[in-house]
């Protein structure tokens, strides 16, 4: 037996377990679901189509995405696991990506357990892992989420116990690297099981180590910059930068650096994860971003804030990659700064003014937004603007001829004022 194992490794002969993974997991298409914030479905769907194109370029045409459709909560699509892994790295507007594992009807615990036992969990999850099981139900006979999770957990655990460790040693990473999550959703006695591919929410890019209070999520900043048609020719002004979300996202987008370039994912511990292919894809994308930076100087990114501590933190963050060296963090007041001249509307100004918990209760937020509007009209004429507003009243206080982009952030229904100032 030892000689057979040695020869298999020597000649790169796949084991029976590896063949099962290729046949059942990596070699066939599956259904995936990109979860996106309310209002960003259109941006997310455009991104899924872009991932499909990139997968065809990097892998092959049979790794493209099919059956793309918007459903409540996000975008559903069909593709191979490798392309879905690439989607996690490339997509900037989605919160997480789920892999559909099974769908079945169960009106009692016996039927539920039978269905769970029929799934080859060892092909999906790393050995000895103990996935977090999150259950939600609606109009189902099985409605107690804790009881459902308690029935599912030991069945999966028994399938993932390593009885023959030599069978898995070379193809599965240790389970402790990244925790795993199984989503169980029941509606009208029909249950859908999905695995979270992403792990930590995708708006966490793995760039910032410290953040300011109530920062704008990167997914929302990405969507706003996308709506403004940001290009590598644009100068970016981020005059209330806080932790620098707009500045960092803008720098990455202008050189097509993938949002997930600096972070890890839950799928990296899966048996079906093709590390060589994804490493090749990541390196290809990073090389393209590097070529963009080397092609010539890009316009500076003007990051300003009146909080010196926030500026110091952003300066530290900017040392993490040479791409961020274009960001110029300076402690300065937006209302006194003078922006440099621009040509052909090639300037983008972005503001996420303080509101909610970032304001004292006696602050007049409407007056603040009126002052912001006056400043933009006076000094930023011709710039394309994106101003986050906590409500319609603040949007109107800007008194600028801009359109609205609905957003949902931190339990708040927001809108962003979008358009060209002075048009």
Residues 140 and 242 in one domain: no
Residues 126 and 227 in one domain: no
Residue 342 lies in a domain: yes
Positions of the chain with pLDDT under 70 = 1-13, 162-177, 212-214, 356-362, 410
Q: What is the pLDDT of residue 359?
A: 63
CATH number, domain of 251, equals 3.40.50.150
Q: How far apart are CA 148 and CA 145, in angstroms?
A: 5
Residues 191 and 303 in one domain: no
Residues 69 and 132 in one domain: yes
CATH number, domain of 172, equals 3.30.2130.30
Q: How far apart are CA 127 and CA 393, in angstroms?
A: 54
Residues 223 and 192 in one domain: no
Q: What is the pLDDT of residue 412?
A: 75
Residues 192 and 227 in one domain: no
Residues 32 and 154 in one domain: yes
Residue 65 lies in a domain: yes
Q: How far apart are CA 315 and CA 329, in angstroms?
A: 6
Query: What single-letter DSSP state applies at residue 24?
Result: I
Among candidate residues 400, 409, 25, the one with its CA nearest the CA of residue 216: 409
Residues 348 and 382 in one domain: yes
Strands (E), 40-95: 66-71, 74-79
- Give the predicted TM-score (pTM) of the model: 0.92
Residue 265 lies in a domain: no
Rg (CA), the chain: 24
Residues 188 and 43 in one domain: yes
At a CB cut-off of 8 Å and minimum separation 6, what does 349 contact? 236, 237, 238, 239, 339, 376, 380, 383, 384, 385, 386, 421
Under a CB-based contact definition with an 8 Å cutoff, are residues 80 and 29 in contact?
yes
Residues 351 and 401 in one domain: yes
Q: How many domains does the chain have?
A: 2
Tokens 């909560």: give the residue: 73
Q: What is the pLDDT of residue 1?
A: 47
Q: How far apart are CA 64 and CA 176, in angstroms?
A: 32
Q: Estimate the crossing angle of helix 145-160 against helix 109-117, to 10 degrees.
A: 30
Residue 231 lies in a domain: yes
Domain that holds residue 156: 2-196
Residues 362 and 236 in one domain: yes
At a CB cut-off of 8 Å and minimum separation 6, what does 329 contact? 241, 244, 247, 303, 304, 305, 311, 314, 315, 318
Residue 260 lies in a domain: no
The CA–CA distances, whole Å, from 277 to 47, 198, 281, 290, 364 equal: 21, 18, 6, 20, 54
Q: What is the pLDDT of residue 423?
A: 75
Residues 30 and 103 in one domain: yes
For 224-241, b where at least 16 C-beta lie within 10 A, e where not — what string?
bbbbbebeeebbbbbbbb
Q: What is the pLDDT of residue 354?
A: 86
Residue 261 lies in a domain: no
Q: What is the pLDDT of residue 87?
A: 99
């Amino acid at each position: 037996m030892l000689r057979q194992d040695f020869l298999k490794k020597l000649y790169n002969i796949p084991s029976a377990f590896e063949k099962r993974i290729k046949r059942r997991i990596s070699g066939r298409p599956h259904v995936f679901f990109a979860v996106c914030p309310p209002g960003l479905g259109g941006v997310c769907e455009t991104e899924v189509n872009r991932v499909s194109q990139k997968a065809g370029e990097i892998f092959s045409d049979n790794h493209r995405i099919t059956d793309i459709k918007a459903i409540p909560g996000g975008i559903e699509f069909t593709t191979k696991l490798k392309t879905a892994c690439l989607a996690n790295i490339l997509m900037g507007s989605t919160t997480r990506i789920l892999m559909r594992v099974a769908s079945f009807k169960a009106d009692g615990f016996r039927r539920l357990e039978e269905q769970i036992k029929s799934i080859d969990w060892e092909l999906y999850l790393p050995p000895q892992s103990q996935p977090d099981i999150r259950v939600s139900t609606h109009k189902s006979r099985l409605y107690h989420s804790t009881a459902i999770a308690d029935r599912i957990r030991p069945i999966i655990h028994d399938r993932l116990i390593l009885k023959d460790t030599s069978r898995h040693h070379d193809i599965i990473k240790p389970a402790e690297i990244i925790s795993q999550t199984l989503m169980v959703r029941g509606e009208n006695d029909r249950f859908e099981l999905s695995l979270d591919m992403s792990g930590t929410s995708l708006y966490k890019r793995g760039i910032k180590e410290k953040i300011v209070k109530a920062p704008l999520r990167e997914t929302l900043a990405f969507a706003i910059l996308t709506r403004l048609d940001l290009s590598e020719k644009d100068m970016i002004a981020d005059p209330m930068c806080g932790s620098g979300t707009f500045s960092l996202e803008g720098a990455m987008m202008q050189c097509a650096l993938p949002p997930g370039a600096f972070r890890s994912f839950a799928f990296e511990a899966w048996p079906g994860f093709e590390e060589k292919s994804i490493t090749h894809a990541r390196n290809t994308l990073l090389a393209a971003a590097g070529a963009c930076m080397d092609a010539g100087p890009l316009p500076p990114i003007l990051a300003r804030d009146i909080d010196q501590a926030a500026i110091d933190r952003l300066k530290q963050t900017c040392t993490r990659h040479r791409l961020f060296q274009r960001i110029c963090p300076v402690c300065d007041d937006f209302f006194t700064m003078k922006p440099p001249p621009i040509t052909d509307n090639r300037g983008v100004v972005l503001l996420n003014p303080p509101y909610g918990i970032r304001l004292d209760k006696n602050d007049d937020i409407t007056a603040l937004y009126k002052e912001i509007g006056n400043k933009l009209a006076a000094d930023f004429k011709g710039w394309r603007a994106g101003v986050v507003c906590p409500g319609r009243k603040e949007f109107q206080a800007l008194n600028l001829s801009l359109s609205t982009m609905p957003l949902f952030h931190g339990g708040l229904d927001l809108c962003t004022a979008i358009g060209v100032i002075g048009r």
